[in-house]
Structure 1
């Protein structure tokens, strides 16, 4: 089980930040920080243990947000395990442009967070725990900073509230998906052969290939990406940004857990002081893994989340 240790916050390492101007459309609108349309998110609901047989015994819910090119399917196993261990319902969401959720050319953290806020309202979910990995982590952090009173706890997995360029791997993945599209493949095996030139690790290719499906209509035998590859490619650089710059003007005071992979560069020690200013009640846990923390070391991740949330019930 990973050892929970206090964050190493070095005030002298703090930089000066300025907040990104927010676009207001109406003071009465709950989405005053997002002027675009929200989309209705697809989801899976996992209820295990006593929560499955008696909803009155369910503890506060968890909202689980996947990373770039992922979907709710990626969090099915860990969602069920967390529900069973914590007796909480777990909503695993498909973020916009992913999985079974609608596509929209706007793919920003403001849009992603607004979609999740709309989901909470539609399903009458009050003060859940947000868990997000990678892109989902920044979306969760953005929502916690914009609507802090609506969120009870936050768990951000291998990402930080800073502007940081995505690793070149993600651009390579997009190039590989484009190559698959051009080839007009009819089998996953054919697609994997093409992707192997762009993603060396088999688990990564298997992850990407969960997005390659056969069309539901027509007689075509050519597999298609269910995600809008070109739209996401245009927004790729923005996925390294974070919509807040000033921790003095936006802060989430709720309990926060930052989970980082020991072999991943996305949560550097230099980012910890900034994390501490945005999320002053944060705790840090290191898990032996790369960026794909949940799939690489699911037992350690589950233990860290359970330990963090057990005293929050």
Structure 2
């Protein structure tokens, strides 16, 4: 065992080595984003900006999912909010490499490119694990962290994403011309209307014909489902994030069961948990509960 005073230094050195070895293995992509400025910045554009918030969506999502909440958080926190499209989603480039180390590298490159400091990372589901990886690998870039309904563990996806992909592939093969046709095809694969509407936000008109296509590369994402269930770090004695962290979990969701709390505490020793009355889709199901938890947590840090 190393003396206690040396452990933080050793953790930082190991994290730096991990980051160098990982970030050079796969090319980063330049992420699309929307920026929501607080009123204070609009009224006085030359004034120094408050610490930014980066908002990361989940699998099959995009920056558009978080548009309304980004505006609300920019207003309530008086901070700029960057809503990102992660690789293979929204308007960001596609890549066959889709795992959390690649996703984290993209976000780190975004922070560097935009010269952001003391950032808060908020991520839902896939975005939560991405945000956790960034914080663990690059703690100096992240002032505080809010993972939403996901834990730093290797666990099978607890919803039906593989079934959704099968339905989406059937839509693609059918070359539908209307969104309503796609909805009918998806019904056996996603019985809840809200889920189908969420998936259908990825449907767009093809440039080379009257049919509709998916904005996301289904072949890449289908191949990445196991990686999305995984978490790339196993040993919290080697890498940890020792800054304020708030885990938000839906009371009707099973993504952060109580048995994961000990390992969460080892990776993120300054963590808190807030339960929100919702399923896995916490932000859309209970936006006010989500907003209140985030604002209360971050106002304490200002």
TM-score (norm 1): 0.89
How far apart, CA to CA, are the structure 2 residues paired with 1:168 and 1:150?
32
- The equivalent position to 1:49 in structure 2, one of 39, 42, 49, is 39
- The equivalent position to 1:228 in structure 2, one of 217, 222, 233, is 217
- Shift in Å, 1:182: 1.0
Change in Cα spacing, 1:308 to 1:70, as seen in structure 2 (3 Å) is same
Does residue 1:83 correspond to 2:74, yes or no? yes
Flag structure 2 segments of 5+ consecutive residues without an equivalent: 1-13
SS of 2:198's partner is helix
- The equivalent position to 2:140 in structure 1, one of 124, 139, 149, is 149
How far apart, CA to CA, are the structure 2 residues paired with 1:280 and 1:52?
37
Change in Cα spacing, 1:262 to 1:67, as seen in structure 2 (3 Å) is same
1:260 alignment partner in structure 2: 249
How far apart, CA to CA, are the structure 1 residues paired with 2:159 and 2:135?
28
Question: Do 1:65 and 1:72's aligned partners in 2 also have CA atoms closer than 8 Å?
Answer: yes
Question: Do 1:58 and 1:87's aligned partners in 2 also have CA atoms closer than 8 Å?
Answer: no
Question: Do 2:15 and 2:238's aligned partners in 1 also have CA atoms closer than 8 Å?
Answer: no
2:203 alignment partner in structure 1: 212
Flag structure 1 segments of 5+ consecutive residues without an equivalent: 1-21
- The equivalent position to 1:249 in structure 2, one of 212, 234, 238, is 238
Question: Do 1:63 and 1:90's aligned partners in 2 also have CA atoms closer than 8 Å?
Answer: yes
- Bigger relative CO (Cα 8 Å, ≥ 6 apart): 1
TM-score (norm 2): 0.92
- Shift in Å, 1:31: 4.2
How far apart, CA to CA, are the structure 2 residues paired with 1:168 and 1:285?
21
Question: Number of residue pairs matched?
Answer: 288
Question: Higher helix share goes to which structure?
Answer: 2
How far apart, CA to CA, are the structure 1 residues paired with 2:159 and 2:80?
36
Question: Do 1:31 and 1:114's aligned partners in 2 also have CA atoms closer than 8 Å?
Answer: no
- Shift in Å, 1:197: 1.0
Change in Cα spacing, 1:284 to 1:23, as seen in structure 2 (3 Å) is closer
SS of 1:81's partner is helix
1:270 alignment partner in structure 2: 259
Does residue 1:283 correspond to 2:293, yes or no? no
How far apart, CA to CA, are the structure 2 residues paired with 1:194 and 1:139?
31
How far apart, CA to CA, are the structure 2 residues paired with 1:300 and 1:108?
30
1:4 alignment partner in structure 2: none
- Superposition RMSD on alpha carbons, in Å? 1.8
1:297 alignment partner in structure 2: 286
Alignment of 1:15-94 (within 5 A): 31-34=20-23, 35-55=25-45, 56=47, 58-94=49-85
How far apart, CA to CA, are the structure 1 residues paired with 2:168 and 2:20?
34
Question: Do 2:54 and 2:119's aligned partners in 1 also have CA atoms closer than 8 Å?
Answer: yes
How far apart, CA to CA, are the structure 2 residues paired with 1:36 and 1:148?
21
Deviations 1:183-222 (A, max 9, x none): 110011010011111001111100000000012x33x110
1:136 alignment partner in structure 2: 127
Moved over 3 A (4+): 29-32
Change in Cα spacing, 1:197 to 1:84, as seen in structure 2 (3 Å) is same
Question: Do 1:50 and 1:57's aligned partners in 2 also have CA atoms closer than 8 Å?
Answer: no
